[in-house]
Every structure is written in C-alpha cells, then in structure tokens.
Amino acid sequence: MSSTNPEPLPRAPAAQGQAHRRLASILVVDDNRAKATALEAILAPLHQNVVVAHSGRDALRALLREDYALILLDVKMPDIDGFETAALIRQRKNSEHTPIIFLTAFDQAELDMARGYSLGAVDFIFTPIVPEILRAKAAVFVELNQKAQEIQELFYAAQDANRFKSEFLNMAAHELRTPLSVVAGYLSMLSEGTLGQTPEAWRLPIDMLNSKTGELNRIVDDLLLASRMDVGALPTVTQRVDLSKSVADAVARAKPRTTLLDGQVRVEVPRRPVLAEFDPDHLARILDNLVNNALTYCRTSPKVTVRVVAADSPRIEVEDNGVGIPPGKEEAIFDQFVRLDEPSLGPIPGTGLGLYISRQLAERQGGRLVLERSEPGKGSLFTLVVPAAPGVDGHGRAAAPETAAGEGGETMRPYIVNGT
C-alpha cells in the first residue's frame, strides 16, 4: 500500500525554498494499521512520499520498487520482526546503507538496542511517540537524502559537461587540421621556391610563418590527442622498445632547440639495452614533452640530464636546472590546461596539455609519470616508469650477475649533446 499526503500542509523547515527538489520516500513498517496511519499523519507536514508496509515481507517488497531516504521500522511484529527485517534489508545492495529508525515500546530494554545498532540502526524512538521529535528526525534524513541526490546530479552534469568539452575540442581540432595543412603546404612551396623565385625580403616572414604554423600544428595535435584520450578512443600499439634508443632519438629531435637556447643535454644510459613494453610513438611524445619542458622552464642556459635506469620497472629520469615547481603545485601541473605563472620567464607559448597527455599515456600502458622532486630556483626531476618487456627483466637481460652498484648500477655510457 502506498500513499502520498493529500492535503496542502505547510512545508517543513528543512524543505523550505527547495520546491525544485525531488520528493524523498519514507518507508513506515508497522503491523498495527492504526499506528501506521498515525505515523503517516505525523510525517505528512514534511510533504514527502510516505509508503506504508504492514509486515517485514511487505517492506522488502516495497524496497524492490524504490529507494528510501529513511525506514521507520516497528521492532515488534509477528512473522518476521523488525530486527530480522532490518537484517534482510541490509543484505540488499540498494538498501544496505538506508538509515533505519526502530520504533519500540519503552519497556524493550538495552539488549534490543545493542542488536538494533549492530544491524545499522541510526536511532531508536520509544513509544509514546512525540510527533515533533519523530518529524524533526525524519526531516534530517530527508534533507540528507536530497543533498546526496543533488551531489549525484551535479556529478552527472559535470561528467556530461566534460564529455561535451571533449567532443567540442575533438571537432574543433579536426576542423582546424585541414586549413592548417593547406597553409603549411603553400608555405613550404614558397620557401622551396616551387612557386618561383622568392624575394629575399620574404625569407624572414616566411620562416616566421613556418615556425608559427608548426606551433599551431602542435597545439591542434595536442588538443586532438587529449580529447581522444578523454573519450577513450586512442589507439595504442605496444611493442618492445629500447629505452636508450628512444632517449637518444628524443635528444636528437631536441637538438635544434638545445642549440637555440645555448643549452646542454647530458644522456646517461646503461651499456646493456633496457627493454620496455610500450607504444614507441607515445614514448617519443612523452620524452619530447619532458625534454622540451626541461629546456623551456629555465632562466639561464638549460642543463638537462636524461637518464635511463635499469630496474625491475625500468625508468627514464629527466632532470633540469630550471625554475622548479612551487610547493603545492606538484600534482596540479599534470592537470589539463594548467600553466604556472613564472614572471621571470616571460611569455612562453603552450597549452598546458603536455604533462596531462604524458601522464595519461604512461598510465594507460601500465607506467607512471611523477615529479620526483623539485626545488624552486634549483630545478626538477621527472621520472617516467614503464613496464619491462616480457621475457627479460627490467635490467634488459635474461640472466646476468648483479653488479656491485645494485639497481641501475651497470656501467653507464654518458654522452653530451650540444655542450657549451
């Protein structure tokens, strides 16, 4: 049996100003019909949905139909009593946390209460029931339930907004790609002289346009990648990669920029190949991001060390002498679009997606990317841990004696790119 209170009574204080809120349901379980009706009347001013059940079995059936903000449960009932009903209620997934208030005669002593609490009772109300007290207590649980629902709705709305943002970014990046490639194509024809002799005075503007188009391309690429990752549509091809080789390639790619910034990149790799299981393109992207950051966020000539460490889970460390990350921002830099304000560096182009993308790529392939340590004004150390390739240990060997230096202690092959 179910009943919604008909007469328009004044709204309970807890529900005032919340007309848009969904009605909460309260389940009243009492075998005594007169008592159940009295309880319904007491709860009526709350203007919620009150459902009455006259037995434990009825109550369990009602719980199959909907979720409740509160259950008022008479302890003394024939057939299955209130405590047994509570035990069955707790066994069900959708009611394992529903607050239960036991209604009981005054002479039922402490032993019952201990059992009731062990069954997850939130309170006991003794007869004779004081209507104001019961109503006030019920109002608290209605309020709690409505707040929980609001939070859940906000969560879903945020998820929807996030999905919408990802879809928009994806679409925008796609739309930008075609015109960008046309611009880049004509620019390269102009710089190669395919369209005829290019006047000397055009050289500089064309170079500038070329470099800015490259920047734009990279931004569009990052936007596309980030939005693909958000919707879980990023193809990944993992294979056996030699970390030392990937590092050497990344450092070679960074060479023009290293020279431009009058910087130095030192590479330290073990003599033996360190084999990991990872998508090589994604690894290249992560390394490019880390090395570029290390070169970029630096006030003086950047001095960067890229180290491959053989270990059970092999890792790559990128260490710099840059501006460092202020305390409290160590995790924020891995969020989308987060860029730190460092006035001493002046404006630096970027989207704040590099570390976000890098961490996502690492984690999706069983790896990890962390800021190991950083000291403002002194520098930072980022560590990328990747899964070892199957069949070899993370030291890149099938079976070989341990070196005295322990983890990663095999002889290193250091070399320097663009020493100043």
Ligand X SMILES: Nc1ncnc2c1ncn2[C@@H]1O[C@H](COP(=O)(O)OP(=O)(O)OP(=O)(O)O)[C@@H](O)[C@H]1O
**What residues from 352 to 411 belong to the interface with ligand X (CB under 6 A)?**
352-356, 380
Shorter beta-carbon distance to Mg ion: residue 63 or 369: 369
Residue 263 lies near ligand X (rule: CB under 6 A): no
- Work out the burial of residue 224: count CB atoms within 10 Å of its CB; fewer than 13 is exposed, 13-18 middle, 19 or more buried: middle
Q: Residue 224 binds which one of ligand X, Mg ion, none, with CB within 5 to 8 A depending on kind?
A: none
Question: Which of 175-183, 254-262, 349-357, 393-401 is the region at the interface with ligand X (rule: CB under 6 A)?
Answer: 349-357
Interface with Mg ion, residue 293, by CB under 5 A: yes
Q: From Mg ion, ligand X, none, which one binds at residue 340 (CB under 5 to 8 Å depending on kind)?
A: ligand X
Distance CA 91, CA 85 (A): 10
Output the smallest distance, CB 293 to Mg ion, in A. 4
Site string for Mg ion, 65-104 (x = CB under 5 A): ----------------------------------------
Shortest distance, position 146 Cβ to ligand X, whole Å: 39
- Rounded to a whole number of angstroms, the minimum distance from the CB of residue 392 to ligand X is 31
Q: Can you tell me the distance from the alpha carbon of 360 to that of 138, in angstroms, rounded to the nearest whole number?
A: 45
Q: How far is the C-alpha of 61 from the C-alpha of 50, rounded, in Å? A: 15
Query: Does 319 interact with ligand X (rule: CB under 6 A)?
Result: no
The reply to whether 222 sits near ligand X by the rule CB under 6 A is: yes
**DSSP calls for 67-85:** --SEEEEES--SSS-HHHH
Site for Mg ion in 9-28 (CB under 5 A): none
Residue placing its CB nearer to Mg ion in the complex, 227 or 289? 289
Q: Which does 294 bind (CB under 5 to 8 A by kind): Mg ion, ligand X, none?
A: ligand X
| Residue 155: alpha-carbon gap to chain centroid | 13
**In which region does residue 111 sit, left (phi positive, over 0), alpha (psi from -120 to 50) or beta (all else)?**
alpha
Yes or no: say if 303 and 369 are a contact pair by the CB < 8 Å rule: no
Whether 70 and 144 have beta carbons less than 8 Å apart is answered as no
If one asks whether residue 305 binds ligand X (CB under 6 A), the answer comes out as: no
b/e per residue, 25-62, with b = 16+ CB within 10 A? bbbbbbbeeeebeebbebbbbbbbbbbbbbbbebbbeb
Among candidates 24, 5, 4, which has minimal Cα distance to 14?
A: 24
Query: Which entry of Mg ion, ligand X, none binds 323, CB below 5 to 8 A by partner kind?
Result: ligand X
Identify whether the C-beta of residue 357 lies closer than 8 Å to the C-beta of residue 225.
yes
Using CB under 6 A as the criterion, which residues of the chain lie in contact with ligand X when the complex forms? 222, 289, 293-294, 297, 320, 322-325, 333, 338-340, 350-356, 380
Using CB under 5 A as the criterion, which residues of the chain lie in contact with Mg ion when the complex forms? 293, 354
